[in-house]
A and B are shown apart, each in its own frame.
Chain A
Amino acid sequence: MGAHKVSAAYSVRIIIGFLKEEKQVEMLSGGDMLIRSLQEEGVDLIFGYPGGAALHIYDAIFKQDKVKHILVRHEQSATHAADGYTRATGRVGTVLVTSGPGATNAITGIATAYMDSIPMVVISGQVATDKIGEDAFQETDMVGVSRPIVKHSFMVKHASEIPEIIKKAYHIASTGRPGPVVVDVPKNTVDPMETFPFEYPKKLKMRSYTPAAKGHSGQIKKAVSMLLKAKRPIIYSGGGVVQGEASKLLTELAQKLGYPVTNTLMGLGAYPGNDKQFVGMLGMHGTFEANTAMHHCDLILAVGARFDDRVTNTTSKFCPNAKIIHIDIDPASISKTITADVPIVGSVDSVLTEMLDLLKESKEKPDEAALSDWWEQINEWRERHGIYTQPRYNTSGDMIMPQDVIKTLYEVTNGDAIVASDVGQHQMFAAQYYPFKSPRQWINSGGLGTMGFGLPAAMGAAFAFRDKDIVCVTGEGSIQMCIQELSTLTQYGLPVKIICLNNQALGMVKQWQDMVYDSRYSEIHYEDSLPDFVKLMEAYGHVGIRVNKKEELREKMEECFALKDRVVFMDIYVDPSEHVYPMLVAPGGSMRDMWLSKTERT
């Protein structure tokens, strides 16, 4: 049935070809069509790893030089690197893997991208169509395995479908709420011996896919009027602002209104972290002032954020007095966990533009007296427990404090580095103590929390920005999950700086075991078996610097960043008993219920 349809479409194309005789139709194999389609999409880099089912495609790559292939050391890294490249640039990342283990190794990276709505196209080799279902060598049902973690997926049935499928894949991945798309390519459909007419579609029409663009004008009017009437407003903005390239609009809106802004972990940098209206990150390890302001506010303007459980804490106790305006491109994210009073489905940039226009026209102004009281209150919270008004950790001991490492990193890099992070305590310290000035500067796995993400993601970003400081903030746990990419860094000469907060244990797990399990440290220690990272770096041709004295931290950090064209790994021994604070009290707490230190809570 399927084959009939395809050959019908194919013969129609030939007829069209006859009609426009003057136009020479190019005959290409499926593999060449695939790579040509990528060129047409403007893809300059693909991250991948070859194997049996993908060999025809690799041969097509070999025959051209427009699409550059980056050979990683593990397929998981291919997806993370493409992801890091996308987060840093906004361009869709592309991955190429073989069937079976190549495809399944890519799964963690696809899930990571899916949870953070990162556009990505993953092309996976597949066994030949007539072998599918026969448990052939390296056969895995990739479309089936990846189904719950992709925005959409395709299985190529015939070579002639390839250009349209690739066009659709990039369109779907990058529009609406972005996400990963898998294209599974059976080996016979890219056979170099069979050629077909190639034409890349200029336009696409998909009757079943029309992502929302503009928000409902009536709802936007209502939202603006509510915004202007608010007494204790807060702007809560997330990753959607970064992805939707709406950071400037958000900043303009917030500054026009003079309202406080908090960013989610995914949204850091969407509003300048060093601005006085910024009250810090909110949620599980958010600042005291951000979480408390959320709890006491009377209006939340949620922009491109999804009321994640790491933000809301107990939903029934979430912001009891707040009316909620929720702008999101994905209708399913609105009123999912927290009911919105004014839902606005639309792209963040178009909705914010419309809001700004209405604000400019409006004669009404924000209630200045109420706002000044509100700021006074917020400033009092900042003074009382804020991490930016004074250090809230022990600064008098001999040990290096992880917070000081991030602060030093900020100073040495002038706050301009692109920082990719792994997952754990170091991630939270980086989020708290490196105030990101601009969007796409902070790259981390927020939704899935994937350890091993940091190094390959930094690598992906490094391909896009050769002249910037690219940093991977990691721990001695996370780094070992994708450490093989040190070799890729050597191959492509990418001078990533790796800042390892070495506390000789799985720190975040340890923190929870301290707090919830009476310090019964189950399976978090490995200090006797840690590699000598300095020697390991040397083995890969890189530079390793060990730091265990507090007074040497700054000098060594400067030394690290002075080595412009080298990969440098800073193995920094930090206080192994330190916890990340503030920390929401969970389960059962509201947003104002926080631990502020090991002994003090709100």
Chain B
Amino acid sequence: MRRIISVLMENEPGALSRVVGLFSQRGYNIETLTVAPTEDETLSRLTVTTVGDDHKIEQITKNLNKLIDVVKLVDLTEGQHIERELMLIKVKASGAQRAEIKRCVDIFRGQIIDVTSTVYTIQITGASDKLDAFVQSVGDAAILEVVRSGVSGISRGEKVLSL
């Protein structure tokens, strides 16, 4: 099962390598990984999506918690949550295709953020499967380049991950 684990950790050099190292060392998967400092510049928030059964996820969270730089973490998929990913995608857009792609972007509520006579650069945000769906509907033939940010997530409602 796919899980989103959100980690609050010390914004220290080497902290990220400890997290990434733990995953490779213990044979866990990383599907996506995003990390940036929070409003408190001494803390970073890292979101990792991974796949595993309950036993594996329990081991992952226990071992992450053991890392000295990790302050707190939560498995967002255990509760109601919101996830978002940002994708920048460059596609061929000429002739009749141009209008078709524009319509497709509108349907997915994306924005065209750069234009040339033959190329559109599009920005789309949403859950990962929405981005997958957009990629599929545009089709491999049209795609020139794809950049995805990896998943960020947050709990719904009053629940917060903070100190």
> In the complex, which residues of chain A have a beta carbon less than 8 angstroms from the beta carbon of B68?
151-152, 172, 206, 208-209
Supposing A147-B18, A155-B13 touch, asked if A208 and B59 sit within 8 A by C-beta, the answer is no
Tell me which residues from 52 to 90 in chain B have a Cβ below 8 Å from any Cβ of chain A: 55, 58-59, 62-63, 65-66, 68-71
> In the complex, which residues of chain B have a beta carbon less than 8 angstroms from the beta carbon of A147?
14, 17-18, 21
Tell me which residues from 120 to 161 in chain A have a Cβ below 8 Å from any Cβ of chain B: 143-144, 147-148, 151-153, 155
B residues contacting the other copy or chain, number (CB 8 A):
20
Question: Total contacts A to B, CB within 8 angstroms?
Answer: 37
A2 contacts chain B at the CB level, 8 A cutoff: yes
> In the complex, which residues of chain A have a beta carbon less than 8 angstroms from the beta carbon of B55?
335
B107 contacts chain A at the CB level, 8 A cutoff: no
> In the complex, which residues of chain B have a beta carbon less than 8 angstroms from the beta carbon of A335?
55, 58
- Assess the B10–A331 pair: CB atoms within 8 A: no
- Assess the A208–B17 pair: CB atoms within 8 A: no
- Assess the B62–A208 pair: CB atoms within 8 A: no
Give CA–CA (A208, B8) in the complex, Å: 10
Whole-angstrom distance between the Cβ of B72 and the nearest chain A Cβ:
8
B59's partner among A2, A143, A209, A332 (CB-CB below 8 A) is A332
Interface code A330-355, partner B: CB below 8 Å = 1, 0 otherwise?
11100110000000000000000000
- Assess the A208–B71 pair: CB atoms within 8 A: yes
A203 contacts chain B at the CB level, 8 A cutoff: no
A207 contacts chain B at the CB level, 8 A cutoff: yes
- Assess the B66–A208 pair: CB atoms within 8 A: no
- Assess the A207–B62 pair: CB atoms within 8 A: no
Give CA–CA (A155, B71) in the complex, Å: 20
Main secondary structure of the interface of B (DSSP, over half): helix
Whole-angstrom distance between the Cβ of B158 and the nearest chain A Cβ:
23
B66's partner among A206, A207, A332 (CB-CB below 8 A) is A332
Supposing A331-B62, A332-B63, A336-B59 touch, asked if A207 and B71 sit within 8 A by C-beta, the answer is yes
- Assess the B65–A331 pair: CB atoms within 8 A: yes
> In the complex, which residues of chain B have a beta carbon less than 8 angstroms from the beta carbon of A208?
9-10, 68-71
Chain A's closest residue to B60 (CB) is A332
Whole-angstrom distance between the Cβ of A275 and the nearest chain B Cβ:
35
Supposing A147-B21, A208-B9, A209-B68 touch, asked if A155 and B14 sit within 8 A by C-beta, the answer is yes
Residue of B9, B17, B62 with highest tally of chain A CB at under 10 A: B62
> In the complex, which residues of chain B have a beta carbon less than 8 angstroms from the beta carbon of A207?
71, 163
A330's partner among B18, B21, B66 (CB-CB below 8 A) is B66
Tell me which residues from 12 to 54 in chain A have a Cβ below 8 Å from any Cβ of chain B: none
Whole-angstrom distance between the Cβ of B57 and the nearest chain A Cβ:
12
Which residues of A are interface residues toward B (Cβ below 8 A)? 2, 143-144, 147-148, 151-153, 155, 172, 206-209, 330-332, 335-336
A-B contact pairs, 19 of them (CB 8 A): A143-B14, A147-B17, A147-B18, A147-B21, A148-B21, A148-B25, A151-B68, A155-B14, A172-B68, A206-B68, A207-B71, A208-B9, A208-B68, A209-B68, A332-B59, A332-B62, A332-B65, A335-B55, A336-B59
13 more A-B residue pairs beyond the given contacts A151-B68, A208-B69, A330-B66, with a C-beta to C-beta distance below 8 A: A2-B13, A143-B14, A147-B21, A152-B68, A153-B14, A155-B14, A206-B68, A208-B9, A208-B10, A208-B70, A209-B68, A332-B65, A336-B59
